[in-house]
Structure 1
Amino acid sequence: MASAFVVGDRFRNKVSEVLEHPNSSLPEELRTQLGVLLEKKEDQIILPFSIARQLKKYLQDEGHPFYLYELLEDSSLHLPKIVKPPRNPELVARLEVIKARLANEEYNKMTRNVNNQEMNRNGTLADFGQQVRSAKAVVVTVFNFLVTVVATFACSYMGSQYLFAETTARVISAVIATSVVGLAELYVLVRTMEGEFGEP
C-alpha cells in the first residue's frame, strides 16, 4: 500500500523557493524535514504522506497562491516492493504429501476397471467366448420366433379346413392366430434380449 510520493522537479523547485524565502513562516520541524529531503542526492526523493499533510496544512493556513496538488503534478506514488515471506518447509512438505496422495487417488479412480489378469490372452479369449455365447443366444431366440410364427400359420391354416370350406376364411383365421402367437413370442423375444444386454 502506498504511503509516500516520489516527487518531481516541480516540487523541488517550489519547495526550494519556500525554504529560501526570508519571510517564510514555515514551522521549524517541517523546514528541517523538507531540507533533509531536498539535500539528498538520490535520483528519487521519497516524500512521506505525513510530511505532505503538514505542508498542505501550512499552505492552507498561509494562503499561498499554489496548492499541494500543483506541487505534485509531476510526482507519482511510491509503491514499495512486496517482500514475500519464506514458505514454511514443514508446510511445503505436507503439501507435497497431499499432492502425491491426491494424484494416487486420481490414478486409482481412473484404473479401477482395469484388471491385470484379464489383459492376458486367456482373459481376452474368455471375453470373446462370452460375446459369442450372447450372440448365439440372440440368434437362437430370433430363429425360435420365426419357426413358431411359421408353424402357427401352417397349423391354423391346415386345422381351419374343418371349420371353413373357403380358402379366404382359412387364410384369415390363420393370420389371426399367427398374429396372436407372434405378439406373444415378440414379447418374450424382447424380454430375452433385454436380459442378454443387461437391461432391467
Structure 2
Amino acid sequence: MPTSVLVHANLRYDNGRANKFLATGAQRLTFSVTSPDFTITLPGIAPIRMNEHPLHHDKPHLRYLGSDGPYTVSVMTPTADGRMTAADCAGSMVKRLVARPGMPPLDSIFRARLNDRTYAAIYAMPGAGKPVLHAHILSAATGGTHCIEVHVSRIAGSQDDVAPWFKGVGAADIEAR
C-alpha cells in the first residue's frame, strides 16, 4: 500500500479501473482505497495529498489522513460485525460518533441517506471565532467485512459557508467494489 497518494480534482472515477480518470469540469476529490476496495467521491473539494494515517500501525482501521487549506480528510475502516450493510454501519457509527467527548447531541446532527450505499452525518461546531463544519460520509465494504467512515472537516470563512456545506455534502458517494 502506498503511503502517499494525490487525489484528483476535476476528474471522475471510470469503469472500475483505478488508473483511468476522465475530466468532468466539476471540482471533486476522488480517492480509491484497497483492502477493502472502495472509491470515495467528495464534490467541491480540491486535490489533497492523502498519507497513511500516522497511527495506522497501532490502529489499522485508521487508514489515511490529509489536509489542505481549510479542509482535513480522514479515512477509517473499522471491522464490521458479520455482514453489516451500509445502513447498519451508518447507524452504528452515528451512535459511536455522539458518544465521543465534545460532540453535539444527536438532535443537532443532520443525518441523511445520500443514495442506496452512502449515508452522511453533518454538523457545525464552534471554532476559534469561526464555525468548523463536519461531515462523516458512511458506508460498508462489499460483503460487510468493514464499515467505511470518511470524516471531512472545513474551517468556515463565515456563517455564510454553512448552508452550501450541507448542500455540497449531499452529492458525496462511497462506492464499494
**What's the TM-score, normalizing by structure 2?**
0.19
Report which of the two structures shows the higher radius of gyration computed on alpha carbons: 1
Q: More helix per residue: 1 or 2? A: 1
Q: More strand per residue: 1 or 2? A: 2
